[in-house]
């Protein structure tokens, strides 16, 4: 077989262009490909809904890749261990109620699960604005390539329509801040100091709809609703993604 460079390029462009056109309208747009966003998108897509995951970085996984201070291990507490089993992530018990898992394996298996469920990934893509029309509901996202944002180029964006948006952008709560800036709500209370026990409980209770059409999960939930940070214990991230998925599926 003879390989032809132009054919290779045509294949890439045509395949992704068809996908992008297809996902101009979707059921759920999850913004942020960290652990909570991956769990949320996988569980929603498993129910047959059209889910796109938008990630500004080249790679998926958020803060989980680096474990704790570049030791590639994460800790998951007893309450979330069932989700390690659910996504076939290997782990070992460190002490009663504390389990360690390899961060690289965890990210890889969550990403694979989301992909297998039908989630479409749009990496190197940033959300620079939102669409809220006369009905007061968040109904779409304004997107651009992340390198355009990083280099400050004056390049106009494109738009995507979605029934539900999930802000899973971590500490920065990017989508919530954009909505708050333009619409006056939700109130962004800000993130508290390190307090793992409080944060792990709060991140699940804070997972909810904070503006019509906008849900928050993961550290974005604590950043918006005033929870603490927890460091490299990731059970709350997994449970928050699950909680968001359950709420959204029940609504859809």
Q: Which CATH number characterizes residue 217's domain?
A: 3.50.50.60
**Residue 41 lies inside a defined structural domain of this protein:** yes
Q: Does 63 appear as a known binding residue? A: yes
Query: Is 156 annotated as belonging to a binding site?
Result: yes
149 is annotated as contributing to ligand binding: no
Instruction: Answer yes or no: is 229 a known binding residue.
Output: yes
Q: Residue 55 annotated as binding?
A: yes
Q: Which domain holds residue 126?
A: 26-251
Whether 121 is covered by a domain: the verdict is: yes
197 annotated ligand-binding residue? no
Q: Does 171 show up as a binding residue in the annotation?
A: yes
DSSP 11-52: HHHHHHHHHHHHTTEEEEEEE--SHHHHHHHHHHHTTT--EE
Q: How confident is the model at residue 72 (pLDDT cuts 50, 70, 90)?
A: very high
pTM more than 0.85: yes
Reported as a single tens digit per residue, the pLDDT across 156-215 is 999 999 999 999 999 999 999 999 999 999 999 999 999 999 999 999 999 999 999 999
Q: What are the pLDDT digits (tens) for 213-244?
A: 999 999 999 999 999 999 999 999 999 999 99
Q: Is residue 2 part of a domain?
A: no
Rounded Cα gap, residues 81 and 78, in angstroms: 5
Is 154 marked as binding a ligand?
yes
Is 56 annotated to bind a ligand? Reply is: yes
Number of domains, the chain: 1
């Amino acid at each position: 077989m003879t390989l032809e460079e132009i054919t290779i390029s045509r294949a890439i462009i045509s395949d992704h262009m068809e996908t992008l056109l297809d996902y101009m309208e979707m059921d759920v747009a999850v913004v942020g490909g960290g652990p909570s966003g991956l769990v949320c998108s996988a569980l929603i897509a498993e129910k047959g809904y059209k889910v796109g995951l938008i990630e500004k970085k080249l790679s998926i996984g958020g803060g989980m890749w680096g474990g704790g201070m570049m030791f590639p291990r994460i800790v998951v507490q007893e309450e979330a261990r069932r989700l390690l089993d659910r996504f076939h992530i290997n782990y070992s018990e460190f002490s009663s109620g504390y389990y360690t898992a390899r961060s690289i394996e965890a990210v890889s298996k969550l990403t694979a699960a989301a992909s297998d469920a039908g989630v479409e990934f749009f990496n190197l893509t940033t959300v620079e604005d939102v669409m809220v029309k006369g009905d007061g509901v968040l109904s779409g996202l304004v997107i651009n390539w992340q390198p355009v944002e990083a280099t400050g180029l004056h390049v106009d964006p494109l738009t995507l329509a979605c029934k539900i948006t999930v802000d899973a952008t971590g500490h920065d709560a990017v989508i919530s801040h954009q909505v708050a800036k333009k619409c006056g709500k939700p109130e962004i209370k800000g993130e508290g100091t390190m307090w793992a026990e409080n944060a792990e409980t709060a991140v699940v209770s804070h997972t909810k709809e904070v503006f019509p059409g906008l849900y928050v999960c993961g550290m974005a939930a604590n950043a918006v609703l005033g929870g603490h940070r927890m460091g490299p214990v990731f059970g709350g991230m997994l449970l928050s993604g699950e909680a968001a998925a359950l709420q959204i599926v029940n609504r859809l």
